[in-house]
Amino acid sequence: MLNQAFFVTWLAASVGLAGPVLLAAQGEIFAERAGVLNIGLEGTILLGALGSYLAAVATGSTPLGFVAGGVTGLAVGAVLALFYVGAQASQVVVGIVFNILAAGVASYVYDLAAGTSAPTIGLLRPVHLPVLSALPVLGPVLFRHPLPLYLTLLIVVLAQVVLFRTRFGLALIAVGEHPRAAHAAGISVARMRVIGVLLSGLGGGLAGAYLVTAQIGLYRDNIVSGEGFIALAIVIFGRWSPLRSLLAALVFGGADALQLSLQLFNDRVPAQVLLCLPYILTILAVSGLLGGRAQPAALMLPYRKE
Amino acid sequence: MLLAALAAFAVAGLLFIPYGTDPLSAYAFLFAEAFGSLRGFGFTLVQATPLILIAQGTVLAWRAGLGYVGFEGCFVLGAAAAAWLALGGTPDGFPYALPPALFFPAVLALSFAAGAVWAGMIGVLRVRFRGNEVLTSLMANYVAAFIVQYLVSGPMRQPGSLPQTPRLPRDTWLPYLIPEARTHAGILIALVASGLVAVLLRATPTGYEIIASGINARAARYGGIPVARRQMLAILLAGGLAALAGLGAVLGVQHRLMDGLAGGAGFVGIVVALLARLDPLAVVPAAILYGGLEVGGAAMQRDTGVPSAVVFILESLVVLFILGSGLLRGWRLPLPWSGRWRATSRKAAE
Amino acid sequence: MSAVPLAALRGIVKRFGPVLANDHVSLDVRPGEVHAILGENGAGKSTAMQILYGLYRPDAGEIHWNGAPVAIADPADAIALGIGMVHQEFLLVPPMTVTENVVLGLREGRGPMLDRSGAAARLAAIAARHGLAVDPSARIAYLPIGVQQRVEILKLLYRDARLLILDEPTAVLTPQEKDALFATLRSLRAEGRSVVLVTHKLHEIMAIADRVTVMRGGRVIDTLDVAGTSERDLARRMVGREVVLRVARTPARPGAAALRVEALTARDAAGRATLRGIDLMLHAGEILGIAGVEGNGQSELAEALLGLLPVTGGRILLGREDITRRPVAARRARGMGFIPADRRGTGSITALSVAANAVLGEQRRHTRAGGMLLDRGAIVATAREIVAHFGVRTPNVALPAGKLSGGNLQKLVLGREVRRASRVLVVEQPTRGLDIGAVEAVWQALLAERDAGRAILMISAELDEIMNLADRIAVLFEGRLSTPLPADAVTREQLGLMMAGRDPAAHGRAA
């Protein structure tokens, strides 16, 4: 059982399962680095999934559906920014209430738009990258996935560069660490935070689109079951860094894939033990029990000019 | 605040129109279903019971300055503990002879303790290690859900059936108060708990210390208040109350343990507490209102096909609109994490 | 006055609620001058400068730059003009490096990328030119406070600021660091830059400034050439009266030892020593004044005495009992009280009522039903008693304490603490930010408590306060306490020297 074929299959499945939450985590990293914890990410992913599905059905084009998910996410991000930044409301409250609202809105709109007829859409097929997909081990693990995964990996690299190598990234991090210092340096705290929330919305919307267009092919009310919270966990476990969040996503995806395969062979190790482990590690990480704590100092705290 | 609520009702009312129902008669129908008959009101109370308990838990934890949001986890573990005692631990049960007079006190204590310990772990991480309790409690919800999933698909599973436990013995069920609506005695637990929370927070020195710790931990410490201990007390009680909501769901409604039992009540309960402005006495009417909306919404879906999701939209819009209008008027709640960002360095003089 | 001023405020008005912080403030800063702004706490100096820097918006008035009116709505606007500010509280991002903090918010170079090494090189060159030694790759969190200030100044120079505003820059500096700062300021002036120095220290103005604008009660009193004035003249203009406030007091009649501190040491979160072996003896019926510039262990001493700060060594004895390891509640129960400097953040819970604040720390003494329930009647009675006895002006005791003015809130805190503190009262900066009337009321109350036999330890940065109230005086400097001297045996000048760490006898070190 523990031969190479199993290992490769497991790794490939891990990468596949990690994709959507990793994508959502990239946007969330920017929001949290700017000081906004978007607990509403779960609802954002849900609405992105719905937007993407409806657009794909309406246009008959799955790629267009994927793009529509991102657009939906941006719109959702704008609404959230209004509350998080514009209204400076408690971020916990806004996020939790928004998730309930999003569940209601998604269910209502789906009922209204699709009713009882709910066609499946054509899934985005895995694309075997030339040359790369023929590599032993790495090929099947990394290079035989649908396009959104490659996009996600590209975004991870891009996010890492933007966050740590650009002036914008420096300003964003400063806003999340010491907003008054950033403000005194001429940076608009509100603008940076709005951008962060918009990116979180965009990432969440695309993650929802990813689920629909590349993994499931249809929409249900419970299509998003915790992906948003897993993405939050990945951000923490990845210590607010895009590259480390990639590893964190693989830990979550890996545990998930492993329990799926183990269920086939073995029922002595309960699947739930594997499933909970990443969450427990996340809890310990955020409590500073696994090395230091890297949480942005002003995370969740509103900032007012005067 | 009233205006904001009316605005939310107005906006949500528009959602009835595409289904060919005019908003006013839709609301009339909805409220008639929820409050127009003893039976309807009985259903409403069943829905309100977990909301009251979780909202009181929210009031306690949040007033103590802890943004605890792990009530889903406490709920399912409280339910699991109650089911375990009721079943005697295994699907076959063990031949225990716990007389009814002892069973109910014991099951209340065990369930409460399960939730208290669960929330207490998050509390320790916060007060001892300064772990962000919002994040840890969100994550802990999943761990709790997996524990219950494991129990109902493994050791407590009814052989050869869905992943759920066998039906609980009849004499472990909570007695019905309004049999036609299957209104169980959980509502009494919720009301007693509400009274106790109100007295604790408003009339006791311990409550004063909890509130002081929540608003300004620094000043509380200066006043000699053991802030960490008061916050721990609040979170233990909060987790216990949320667990009793799970007890009610198992012993009062489902009569068995299954996966996904909380169904979002852990979050809607928080919304109820917000609507009640974290006032333990206002929680009861707010929860009954929201319970009624859910009963009315379900009835409307049955009768007219309007999706009951409208109710969720309405419930969340009310709070969002109040938040929105509150900021215009500077209305502020002592919410955890609503304080402004402050530099940790030396403060400038007044 | 032929030259066009570099920057000018014209009729600036700013209100904070009922408080008129700036009342038609006008002043000019010329190119290449060091311009001091002098005033007591609350005179409106910082507010005016924060308006010039765009942190606050004025309710009325204009700002001119090189003779033309400009709109400064945000620090970004001020920076673009060439204005920079070093705030009292440093605005540096702790986990970032010196270079990152310096380039933060700057648009330099083409493209969006950061050029860390290029910036570090430019920074090193500027630092060398002005004698501001600092490692560009060091993280702020690990730098001492004096070096952090250098980073703040470098930040401005890196932006080629023409006007540098320094808000109370010497409050946190050692004498050596202060000399270095002044040398830097002189080199900036020599380059033709202008410096605004916000301060209330007369000798600094005489030492470095070219002109001085005196502010009082939100208004500009005068702008003078430093060469044509004197410390005495400036002091008179600053306080608006020749004779400072005095209270009538009788000689103390010290009783038994109430509080004894032996070799007390403490460290801050970063592990730096804040208290380096404090010894003191406090008697019933006396006021021991602890003078000194803030940041030399003042708050740490007060918090260690009450039990808010864990100590790393030494003993605290209340009467004969060792309370070094006892919690706050136990110390309060044994008759200690504490009036903290931060009355809104520490001394009170501003969202709760006056009545609730009147029993903070004593909530368990206002109960009925065997301690189970709060006794509302008793709480209100206590609150009313304090309000009446100490003249707290409030419509009722249900008012949120945050709505009280600073003076009335302080009287409430004071009333609560003296009511409980049967033995020892620790008082930190008791009249900071209060108006004259409130200062007098607080002083009278403290003297009355002394005469009633309480032992009072008063920590204050205001020499007037120390000279007026204390029976014995010691100076806290860099975590060490000088030997207390009888108040009539020391002069202001001596204290001033000791506060600057220049008394070899008291500190065992050469200046």
Q: Give pLDDT, residue C497.
A: 72
Query: Taking 90 as the threshold, does the pLDDT of residue A23 lie above it?
Result: yes
Which of C75, C95, C101 is opposite residue A183, by nearest beta carbon?
C75
CA C331 to chain B, closest CA, distance in angstroms equals 8
Q: Give pLDDT, residue C439.
A: 82
Rounded distance between C-alpha atoms, residue A177 and residue C117, angstroms: 23
- Minimum mean pLDDT among B68-82, C192-206, C372-386: which range? C192-206
CB-CB neighbors (< 8 A) of C348 in chain B? 219
Contacting partners of chain A (3+ CB pairs under 8 A): B, C
Query: Taking 70 as the threshold, does the pLDDT of residue A1 lie above it?
Result: no
CB-CB neighbors (< 8 A) of C89 in chain B? 343, 345-348
State whether residue B205 sits within 8 Å of chain C by CB.
yes
Any residues with CB less than 8 A from the CB of C18 and at least 6 apart, and which? none
Which of A171, A181, A297 is opposite residue C91, by nearest beta carbon?
A181
Rounded distance between C-alpha atoms, residue C443 and residue C456, angstroms: 12
Q: Is A298 among the domain residues?
A: no
8 Å CB contact of C374 and B216 = no
Q: Give pLDDT, residue C244.
A: 53
Q: Which residue of C has its CA nearest to B219?
A: C346
Q: Taking all residues of chain B, what is their mean pLDDT, rounded to a whole number?
A: 86
| C35 C-beta neighbours (distance < 10 Å), count | 26
CA C328 to chain B, closest CA, distance in angstroms equals 5
State whether residue B150 sits within 8 Å of chain C by CB.
no
State whether residue A128 sits within 8 Å of chain C by CB.
no
> pLDDT over 70 for what percent of chain C?
94
**pLDDT, tens digit (0-9, with 9 covering 90-100), for A24-39:** 999 999 999 999 999 9
Answer whether C487's CB lies under 8 Å from C470's CB.
Answer: yes
State whether residue A269 sits within 8 Å of chain B by CB.
no
Q: Give pLDDT, residue B152.
A: 87
Q: Give pLDDT, residue C18.
A: 67
Q: What is the DSSP string of A112-169?
A: HHHTT-----PPPPEEE-TTGGGSTTHHHHHSEEEHHHHHHHHHHHHHHHHHHHBHHH
Summarize the confidence of residues A272-300 as an average pLDDT.
80
State whether residue B105 sits within 8 Å of chain A by CB.
no
**pLDDT, tens digit (0-9, with 9 covering 90-100), for B45-100:** 999 999 999 999 999 999 999 999 999 999 999 999 999 988 875 555 555 666 77
Q: Is A131 among the domain residues?
A: yes
CA B310 to chain A, closest CA, distance in angstroms equals 6
Q: What is the DSSP string of B12-26?
A: HHHTTGGGT--HHHH
Q: Is A300 among the domain residues?
A: no
Report CA dihedral (B159, B162, B165, B170) to the nearest 10 degrees: -100
Put simply, the chain C residues between 287 and 326 with a CB less than 8 A from any chain B CB are: 294-295, 306, 308
Put simply, the chain B residues between 226 and 255 with a CB less than 8 A from any chain C CB are: 226
Q: Give pLDDT, residue C2.
A: 53
**pLDDT, tens digit (0-9, with 9 covering 90-100), for A240-272:** 999 999 999 998 888 888 887 776 666 666 778
Summarize the confidence of residues C436-464 as an average pLDDT.
87
Which of B204, B219, B348 is opposite residue C346, by nearest beta carbon?
B219
CB-CB neighbors (< 8 A) of B204 in chain C? 372-374
Q: What one-letter code names the amino acid at C430? A: P
Q: Is A177 among the domain residues?
A: yes
Q: Give pLDDT, residue B347.
A: 30
Summarize the confidence of residues B25-52 as an average pLDDT.
93
State whether residue B325 sits within 8 Å of chain A by CB.
no
What CATH number is given to the structural domain containing A135?
Answer: 1.10.3470
> pLDDT over 90 for what percent of chain C?
40
Best residue of A50, A101, A221, A274 to probe chain B, by most B CBs closer than 10 Å: A101
Q: Which residues pair with C485 in a beta bridge?
A: C473
C18 burial (CB, 10 Å; 0-12 / 13-18 / 19+) is: exposed
State whether residue C374 sits within 8 Å of chain B by CB.
yes
8 Å CB contact of C114 and A167 = yes
Name the most confidently modeled range: A2-6, A71-75, C86-90, C348-352: A71-75
Summarize the confidence of residues B182-191 as an average pLDDT.
93
Backbone phi, then psi, for A8, in 5-degree steps?
-65, -45
Q: What one-letter code names the amino acid at A37? A: L
Rounded distance between C-alpha atoms, residue B317 and residue C334, angstroms: 53
Rounded distance between C-alpha atoms, residue C266 and residue C278, angstroms: 10
Q: What radius of gyration do chain C's Cα atoms show? A: 25
8 Å CB contact of A93 and B316 = no
Between A7 and B95, the more confident residue is A7
Rounded distance between C-alpha atoms, residue C83 and residue C162, angstroms: 6
Which of B205, B215, B225 is opposite residue C351, by nearest beta carbon?
B215
Rounded distance between C-alpha atoms, residue A142 and residue A132, angstroms: 9
Give the pLDDT band of residue C402 (cuts 50, 70, 90). Answer: confident
Summarize the confidence of residues C479-488 as an average pLDDT.
88
Q: Give pLDDT, residue A305.
A: 63
Between B235 and B86, the more confident residue is B235
Q: Which residues pair with C282 in a beta bridge?
A: C259
Residue owning tokens 């009925």: C368
Answer whether C158's CB lies under 8 Å from C211's CB.
Answer: no
8 Å CB contact of A302 and B338 = yes
Answer whether C169's CB lies under 8 Å from C86's CB.
Answer: yes
| B111 C-beta neighbours (distance < 10 Å), count | 29
Residue B81: enclosing H or E segment and its boundaries? helix B71-87
State whether residue B220 sits within 8 Å of chain A by CB.
no
b/e code C472-503 from CB counts within 10 Å (16+ = b): bbbbbbbbbbbebbebeebeeebbeebbbbbb
Host domain of residue A62: 4-286
Q: Give pLDDT, residue B205.
A: 93
Outline where B204-226 has alpha helix (H): 205-215, 217-222
8 Å CB contact of A300 and B130 = no
Say which DSSP state C175 is in: H
Best residue of B225, B347, B350 to probe chain C, by most C CBs closer than 10 Å: B350
8 Å CB contact of B142 and A232 = no
Give the pLDDT band of residue A293 (cuts 50, 70, 90). Answer: low
Q: Measure Cα distances from A244 to A160, A234, A240, B188, C11 in Å.
A: 9, 9, 8, 50, 55
Put simply, the chain A residues between 188 and 247 with a CB less than 8 A from any chain B CB are: 226, 229, 232-233, 236
Answer whether C354's CB lies under 8 Å from C401's CB.
Answer: yes
CB-CB neighbors (< 8 A) of A39 in chain B? 134, 138
Between A8 and B283, the more confident residue is B283
Rounded distance between C-alpha atoms, residue C206 and residue C202, angstroms: 6
Of the candidates C444, C480, C506, C439, the residue with the CA atom closest to the CA atom of residue C40: C439
Written as six digits, the tokens of C364 are: 């368990």
Of the candidates C387, C349, C348, C382, the residue with the CA atom closest to the CA atom of residue C365: C382
Residue A173: enclosing H or E segment and its boundaries? helix A167-177
Percent helix, strand and coil across chain B, each rounded to 5?
Answer: 70, 0, 25
Mapping DSSP onto H, E and C, the string for B294-334 reads HHHHHHHHHHHCCCCHHHHHHHHHHHHHHHHHHHHHCCCCC
CA C304 to chain B, closest CA, distance in angstroms equals 11
Best residue of B63, B209, B222 to probe chain C, by most C CBs closer than 10 Å: B222
State whether residue B343 sits within 8 Å of chain A by CB.
yes
Name the most confidently modeled range: B228-237, C171-180, C232-241, C474-483: B228-237
Q: Is A160 among the domain residues?
A: yes
Rounded distance between C-alpha atoms, residue A302 and residue A293, angstroms: 21
Best residue of C74, C93, C108 to probe chain A, by most A CBs closer than 10 Å: C93
| C433 C-beta neighbours (distance < 10 Å), count | 17
Size of interface A-B (CB pairs under 8 A): 164
State whether residue C327 sits within 8 Å of chain B by CB.
yes
Q: What radius of gyration do chain B's Cα atoms show? A: 21
Q: Give pLDDT, residue C510.
A: 34
Query: Taking 50 as the threshold, does the pLDDT of residue C357 lie above it?
Result: yes
Query: Taking 80 as the threshold, does the pLDDT of residue C266 lie above it?
Result: yes
Which of B199, B204, B350 is opposite residue C344, by nearest beta carbon?
B350
Work out how many domains chain A is built from and give that number. Answer: 1
Mapping DSSP onto H, E and C, the string for C393-426 reads CCCCCCCEHHHCCHHHHHHHHHHHHHHHCCCEEE
Query: Taking 50 as the threshold, does the pLDDT of residue B346 lie above it?
Result: no
Summarize the confidence of residues A287-299 as an average pLDDT.
76
8 Å CB contact of A167 and C107 = yes
Between C438 and C219, the more confident residue is C219
Which of C75, C96, C113 is opposite residue A186, by nearest beta carbon?
C75
State whether residue B225 sits within 8 Å of chain C by CB.
yes
**pLDDT, tens digit (0-9, with 9 covering 90-100), for A152-191:** 999 999 999 999 999 999 999 999 999 999 998 889 999 9
Q: Is A66 among the domain residues?
A: yes
Which of C93, C113, C114 is opposite residue A174, by nearest beta carbon?
C93
Q: Which residue of B has its CA nearest to C413?
A: B223
**pLDDT, tens digit (0-9, with 9 covering 90-100), for B305-314:** 888 889 989 9
Q: Give pLDDT, residue B47.
A: 94
Q: Is A301 among the domain residues?
A: no
- Minimum mean pLDDT among A112-126, A229-243, B100-114, B300-314: which range? A112-126
Its ipTM equals 0.87
8 Å CB contact of C93 and A184 = no
Q: Is A295 among the domain residues?
A: no
